[in-house]
Structure 1
């Protein structure tokens, strides 16, 4: 089972809000996930990224791979949360 750190979309039409989740790579985008490790709000100025760094490090240590988009978003994330 390949585990990925990726986004799942919430919000309504034209008003996206995303959770950063850990899920099986074969699951649907908004399907079942293993853990929520943060949020991403692209509509705020500046963009708001909140990440639980303890959970992130734990899942990366277990071998979860972030998607390209999540990798770029995590670069913007604050180091404490």
Structure 2
């Protein structure tokens, strides 16, 4: 099963994350299928960027997002509606 997960990047105590598509049995540190965007919780300006076309493609083809990714997607969609 294919999953959409967050992969931790960045320096010690300064995390940033990459949204990745990966085989569900693999750890996020291993090789992944595709990178969909990034999330930087410490940034004050735009801290979330996702390629929505590719995200929708993977969701249509059965990729399961983790809970944290679901929350980020909902946050991004609500931001798009208000703009």
Q: TM-score, normalised by structure 1?
A: 0.88
SS at match of 1:28: coil
Deviation at 1:46, TM superposition (A): 5.4
> Which residue is equivalent to 1:51?
50
Aligned residue-pair number: 78
1:11 alignment partner in structure 2: 10
Moved more, 47-56 or 31-40: 47-56
CA–CA separation in structure 2 for the residues paired with 1:29 and 1:46: 26
Q: Aligned to 2:69, what secondary structure does the other structure show?
A: helix
| Farther off after superposition, 42-51 or 27-36 | 42-51
1:9 & 1:47 partners in 2: Cα distance? Answer: 18
Q: Is the 8 Å Cα contact of residues 49 and 76 (structure 1) preserved in structure 2?
A: no
RMSD: 1.4
**4+ residue runs over 2 A deviation:** none
From the two aligned structures, give the one with the greater helix fraction: 2
Deviation at 1:47, TM superposition (A): 6.2
**Gaps in structure 2 of 5+ consecutive residues:** none
Unaligned runs of 5+ in 1: none
Cα distance between partner residues in 2 of 1:29 and 1:17: 14
Cα distance in 2 for partners of 1:29, 1:50 equals 19
| CA positional deviation for 1:45 | 2.4
